[in-house]
Amino acid sequence: MIKEPEDFCSVYEGASVGNFIFSVLITIGIVGSYIPQYLRINLKRTSEGLSTNFLLLGSCSSLFTFTNIMLVSSRARGCCYAGQLALFNCINSQLNLVQIGLQCFCAILILVLVLLLTRYSIKQDREEYLRIERVGYWVLLHFAISVLQILIGVYSKDRGLLISIANVNGLLSTILTMVKYVPQIYTTYVLKHPGTLSIGMMCIQTPGGALFTLTLFLTKGSHWSSWISYFTAFILQGCLLTLCIYYEYFRDHGLAAEFAERREVERIVEENEREDSPLVGASERE
């Protein structure tokens, strides 16, 4: 068991008002950055352009990071409960938790909206939808495991166990963050268009990711395992954004990307209409 020093709460004292305000603005920006993606899913009503593995790994990496920060920030919450920190310092010590919690919710909401808004869409590939549905079940299972990990870590008297669980989740989040962009970059490269993937979201999130990493790094009592995954995401999302901008605006002035997306959606619509046709159903039964 790791024995805490008597003055361990002092690390959370002296929080900067400027950094607090900046962090609040970043938090608002986190939520706002996802809105273009939500609107695009609602407009397109298809998962075309979104990698299934990207949805799975993105959701799981967010859950790993959330589990990490829930455990890491529990130390500061203990100081607040014991009355050893002023109210402002207490609130500031939990800013990372609020930020990452909102980011986790917003990331998983992409998956939820795809499942809800494309379910009965004529433009949605049905086999692809079944794969996305399976992703939803896996993410739900991961959520249950995360809750169990948090309960074990927080209620365990062994500080070493808590830190170990937090570090493992932080490392897994970093690994998944690196891996999740590989299938999405590959999907975008093969399709030669961004499809339902929102360029607007990435234009906000890429520079925002750099600022978010900085605020996590500068927060009192921060731990490297809580910000390293966001730094990795900033680098890789920048690569994906560059690829999408090239196809959407520069390669043949965007005409090739528009044609490729339209052709794929028309193929899916035609396939779905043929499957739904009663004449096709009768011929198949014969």
pLDDT given at position 280: 46
- Condensed to tens digits (0 to 9), the pLDDT of residues 73-105 reads 888 888 888 888 888 888 888 888 998 899 999
- Condensed to tens digits (0 to 9), the pLDDT of residues 115-135 reads 999 999 999 999 999 999 999
The set of residues, in sequence order, having a beta carbon less than 8 Å from that of 243 and lying 6+ positions away, is 185, 188, 189
Q: Say whether pLDDT at 283 is over 50.
A: no
pLDDT given at position 60: 94
Total domain count, the chain: 1
Residue 46: which region, alpha, beta or left (left: phi > 0; alpha: psi -120 to 50)? beta
Q: Which of 105-119, 178-192, 265-279 has the highest mean pLDDT?
A: 105-119
pLDDT given at position 171: 87
pLDDT given at position 67: 94
pLDDT given at position 111: 95
Q: How far is CA 246 from CA 41, 51, 180, 184, 210, in A?
A: 21, 19, 21, 15, 22
Residue 281 token pair? 């159903």
Q: If pLDDT is split at 50, 70 and 90, which confidence band does 36 have?
A: very high
**What range defines the domain where residue 17 resides?**
10-276
- pLDDT (mean) for 264-274: 84
- Condensed to tens digits (0 to 9), the pLDDT of residues 209-239 reads 888 788 777 766 666 766 777 788 888 889 9
Q: Say whether pLDDT at 11 is over 90.
A: no
What percent of the chain shows pLDDT beyond 90? Answer: 33
pLDDT given at position 286: 40
Q: Say whether pLDDT at 151 is over 60.
A: yes
Asked, for residue 171, whether it belongs to a domain, the answer is yes
Asked, for residue 3, whether it belongs to a domain, the answer is no
Asked, for residue 17, whether it belongs to a domain, the answer is yes
Cβ(135)–Cβ(52) below 8 Å: yes
Q: Among 173-187, 207-221, 244-258, name the one with the lowest average pLDDT.
A: 207-221
- pLDDT (mean) for 184-206: 89
Mean pLDDT (the chain) is 84
Cβ(114)–Cβ(90) below 8 Å: no
Q: If pLDDT is split at 50, 70 and 90, which confidence band does 3 have?
A: very low
Q: If pLDDT is split at 50, 70 and 90, which confidence band does 7 have?
A: low
Q: If pLDDT is split at 50, 70 and 90, which confidence band does 249 have?
A: confident
Asked, for residue 285, whether it belongs to a domain, the answer is no
Asked, for residue 4, whether it belongs to a domain, the answer is no
Asked, for residue 269, whether it belongs to a domain, the answer is yes
Type and span of the H or E element at 165: helix 159-191
Sort 235 into a burial class: Cβ within 10 Å, 0-12 / 13-18 / 19+. middle
Asked, for residue 150, whether it belongs to a domain, the answer is yes
